[in-house]
Structure 1
Amino acid sequence: MTHSTVLAIDLAKNVFQVCKMDRHGRIIFNKEVSRKKLTELLIKEKASLIAMESCATAHHWGRLAIKLGHKVKAIAPKRVSAFRQGQKTDANDALAIAIAAMQPNVKACRILNIEDQCQQSIVHIRELLVRQKVSSANQLRALLLEFGFPINKGDFALRTEIPLILEDAENSLTCTFRETLAMMYDRFVDLIHQIDNITQKLKVTTSQDLLCKRLQALEGVGPICAALLKIALSQKDHFSKGRHASACLGLTPVQHSSGGKQKIGAIAKRCGNNTLRNALYNGAIGVVCKLEKREARTSKEQWLKAITVRRGKKVAAIALANKTVRTAFAMIESGEDYQPQLLVA
């Protein structure tokens, strides 16, 4: 370790626990500081390794520490918990962070810059609005079914049928329920407009970003997926290989191997970036479904059709998502554009 001291911070909103440890593992202090005092401490402290859990406000404090000349190591909370001794207190948490930061096999999480964090936040806001829209649509459809009004799947059917139900004065719905139903329908329509507005903003943003434009040449990668791929892979020192990136995103099978016997399972149910994995899978399954209706034009499409026949659509979609991440990583590393290999006629 090149740094003489480790400054481990147990992050919070206003009161922080800071544990300072030298290179030999001796604790210099482990104390509670305020938000203002923490900023002053980072300014006064010589260049150190600043360690913290990768949780709320980690990006803010990480950027500040880097700006002040420190090196930052943000660690996933589940990695830190393995080093905590005794009961869960702020002091024990800060000490566990310091110990974990000194272990060479504990990997660090990324610290995003302002631009990437803003772009990622927009995607998360859109994701929340989509969940609210789906929830509202399901409630509207379920409530009306109880009154004998079955509505087909899809937003278009809902937007077509509900105005007709509201205008029908002979359907025995009470005035109070009719007004409430109209209010919920207006909220549903507003959510659709808000989602479309944010999606359009993301399209404009990605069209102005050279790397995002290059990534959209990949099969099944649209504006949102390209933005998330750029955020996940643009820090070149975070992953040494493309397959490490795909494994981190949960696109490789989990292992439970022992005694020389390898047991390969399914892909992990939970991963570090479910939003990106969902976007990659949805794009890939769309490519697989379209490819069923036509002949393969490239060697990758030929490979994908063979997997679809052998293992099914879902496995083929995961395989394509895995290859997409590895190809995107290679594009970022080499600076070259994606050029699919066309089949010879």
Structure 2
Amino acid sequence: MSIFVLGIDLGKNVCSLVGLNEAGAVVLRRRLRRDAVTEFVGSLPACIVAMEACCGAHYLGRVLGSAGHKIRLMSPEYVRPYVKANKNDDRDAEAIAEAATRPTMRFVPVKSEAQSDIQALHRARSRLVAERTALINHLRALLLERGIVAAQGRKRLEAQLEVFADEDDPRLSSRMRLLVEDLRAEWRSLDRRIAAFDKEFVAMARENEATRRLSTVPGIGVINATALVAAVGDARSFGRGRDLAAWLGLTPRQATTGGKPRLLGISKRGNRYLRANLIHGARAVLPRIMAQDTSLGRWVRGLLERSHKNVVVVALAAKLARIVWAVLRKERGFDPTIAAA
């Protein structure tokens, strides 16, 4: 039995394995518990091991890669067209193996343990930020039900709540005042936990050369720099800057019929967290770039003359993604004097 490519459909407890020979014929079908996959595949001669880039795939890819196998991870949406007839785990594994043999298939690089750790920290911080936002919205709704319109902005609301804590307001009952104080304590706890993550990201950015170079790009701060390095790595998996922007969902969708292309809104594909952070960074740095007499500044001013500000912000985010690719690939900091518009 000679296996050329082994497709693994990862499950929480049980995984399906299908092996193909060089002619594409199925020579192996096996179902194993997840903890037995490493031992079984490790005992096989070196071959291509293909998996969907889902939870646990990067860890398994690192383990099996160290055993001499060639790892190929793919986006699940690229595997779906190869599933035959009714979907089941065995056919999914066969589809994964078949998709991995296609010469035009796009593969996902296996992330290192350090990259996975940084991504886990970013997900934890993002969850805390979402919890804080939900808590603040809950506080606003609670006050509005008592006829109190909270000030816009997180800092203003925090100051307004401090006044309620010091002064008796007839619109709030004693029980509601206790509830507000309890929510304020939870808010302060979330602030401390988020600040601890931010401090850790700052330390990481100082120690890593790639993040230091990315920090020279306008709109790319510590959060963006560490998240990009964790998700993108050295950017060698992208042939050009536009590919990275497209992977982040910052390029327009295209609908072509009868030879007439029509550009729609951005695709919003890929990593939502990175895309949102790049757009926030572009929005924050837009006024400063507009005031600069550089090719990027002139490009932004020309775009503002014919497009809405929100459109310009997204276009600038896509431009920043291309600059990020160039900085990572060329391994040098951002130079606004030579940045191409």
- For residues 262 and 297 of structure 2, the distance between their equivalents in structure 1, rounded to whole angstroms, comes to 29
In the TM superposition, residue 167 of structure 1 has moved relative to its aligned partner by: 4.1
Q: Which amino acid aligns with 2:287?
A: C
Q: Which amino acid aligns with 1:323?
A: K
**Aligned counterparts, 1:119-134, within 5 A:** 119-134=118-133
1:323 and 1:171, CA in 2 relative to 1: closer, same or farther beyond 3 A? same
- For residues 313 and 169 of structure 2, the distance between their equivalents in structure 1, rounded to whole angstroms, comes to 49
In the TM superposition, residue 261 of structure 1 has moved relative to its aligned partner by: 1.6
In the TM superposition, residue 285 of structure 1 has moved relative to its aligned partner by: 1.2
Q: Which amino acid aligns with 2:141?
A: A
Between 166-175 and 139-148, the greater mean CA deviation after superposition: 166-175
- For residues 290 and 312 of structure 1, the distance between their equivalents in structure 2, rounded to whole angstroms, comes to 18
In the TM superposition, residue 61 of structure 1 has moved relative to its aligned partner by: 0.6
Say whether 1:335 aligns with 2:331. yes
For residue 257 of structure 1, give the secondary structure of its aligned residue in structure 2. strand
Q: Which of 295, 298, 303 is the equivalent residue of 1:299?
A: 295
- For residues 337 and 290 of structure 1, the distance between their equivalents in structure 2, rounded to whole angstroms, comes to 19
- For residues 338 and 102 of structure 2, the distance between their equivalents in structure 1, rounded to whole angstroms, comes to 47
For residue 65 of structure 1, give the secondary structure of its aligned residue in structure 2. helix
**Aligned counterparts, 1:208-247, within 5 A:** 208-247=207-246
Is the contact made by 1:285 and 1:313 (CA closer than 8 Å) also made in structure 2?
A: no
Say whether 1:326 aligns with 2:339. no
Residue aligning to 1:101: 100
Q: Which amino acid aligns with 1:13?
A: K
Is the contact made by 1:7 and 1:51 (CA closer than 8 Å) also made in structure 2?
A: yes
Residue aligning to 1:197: 196
In the TM superposition, residue 206 of structure 1 has moved relative to its aligned partner by: 0.6
Residue aligning to 2:152: 153
For residue 72 of structure 1, give the secondary structure of its aligned residue in structure 2. strand
Q: Which amino acid aligns with 1:25?
A: G
* TM-score normalised by L of structure 2: 0.93
In the TM superposition, residue 179 of structure 1 has moved relative to its aligned partner by: 2.5
- For residues 51 and 182 of structure 1, the distance between their equivalents in structure 2, rounded to whole angstroms, comes to 53
Report Cα offsets for 1:293-333 as digits up to 9, x if no partner. xx323221122111122213222222222222222222222
In the TM superposition, residue 10 of structure 1 has moved relative to its aligned partner by: 0.8
In the TM superposition, residue 170 of structure 1 has moved relative to its aligned partner by: 5.3
- For residues 222 and 236 of structure 1, the distance between their equivalents in structure 2, rounded to whole angstroms, comes to 18
- For residues 80 and 317 of structure 1, the distance between their equivalents in structure 2, rounded to whole angstroms, comes to 34
- Could you tell me the percent identity over the aligned residues? 29
Is the contact made by 1:296 and 1:305 (CA closer than 8 Å) also made in structure 2?
A: no
- For residues 149 and 318 of structure 1, the distance between their equivalents in structure 2, rounded to whole angstroms, comes to 36
1:310 and 1:320, CA in 2 relative to 1: closer, same or farther beyond 3 A? same
Say whether 1:279 aligns with 2:280. no
Q: Which amino acid aligns with 1:157?
A: R
In the TM superposition, residue 146 of structure 1 has moved relative to its aligned partner by: 0.8
In the TM superposition, residue 263 of structure 1 has moved relative to its aligned partner by: 1.5
Residue aligning to 2:45: 46
Report Cα offsets for 1:1-38 as digits up to 9, x if no partner. xx951111111222111111112111112221012321
- For residues 54 and 270 of structure 2, the distance between their equivalents in structure 1, rounded to whole angstroms, comes to 12
Residue aligning to 2:8: 9
Q: Which amino acid aligns with 1:113?
A: S
- For residues 290 and 328 of structure 1, the distance between their equivalents in structure 2, rounded to whole angstroms, comes to 18
Number of matched pairs: 338
- For residues 307 and 207 of structure 1, the distance between their equivalents in structure 2, rounded to whole angstroms, comes to 35
Is the contact made by 2:50 and 2:72 (CA closer than 8 Å) also made in structure 1?
A: yes
Is the contact made by 2:119 and 2:231 (CA closer than 8 Å) also made in structure 1?
A: no
Report Cα offsets for 1:41-99 as digits up to 9, x if no partner. 12111111111111110111111111111111111112222111222211111111111
Between 81-90 and 225-234, the greater mean CA deviation after superposition: 225-234
Structure 1: any 5+ residue segments left out of the alignment? none
Say whether 1:72 aligns with 2:71. yes
- For residues 324 and 6 of structure 2, the distance between their equivalents in structure 1, rounded to whole angstroms, comes to 35
Between 135-144 and 69-78, the greater mean CA deviation after superposition: 69-78
Q: Which amino acid aligns with 2:275?
A: R
For residue 64 of structure 1, give the secondary structure of its aligned residue in structure 2. helix
Is the contact made by 1:19 and 1:94 (CA closer than 8 Å) also made in structure 2?
A: yes
Structure 2: any 5+ residue segments left out of the alignment? none
Report Cα offsets for 1:160-208 as digits up to 9, x if no partner. 2223324444526444333332212211121122112211211121121
- For residues 281 and 144 of structure 2, the distance between their equivalents in structure 1, rounded to whole angstroms, comes to 32
- For residues 197 and 221 of structure 2, the distance between their equivalents in structure 1, rounded to whole angstroms, comes to 14
For residue 304 of structure 2, give the secondary structure of its aligned residue in structure 1. helix
Q: Which amino acid aligns with 1:64?
A: V
- For residues 216 and 235 of structure 1, the distance between their equivalents in structure 2, rounded to whole angstroms, comes to 15
Q: Which amino acid aligns with 2:104?
A: N
Say whether 1:317 aligns with 2:313. yes
Between 154-163 and 241-250, the greater mean CA deviation after superposition: 154-163
Between 234-243 and 95-104, the greater mean CA deviation after superposition: 234-243
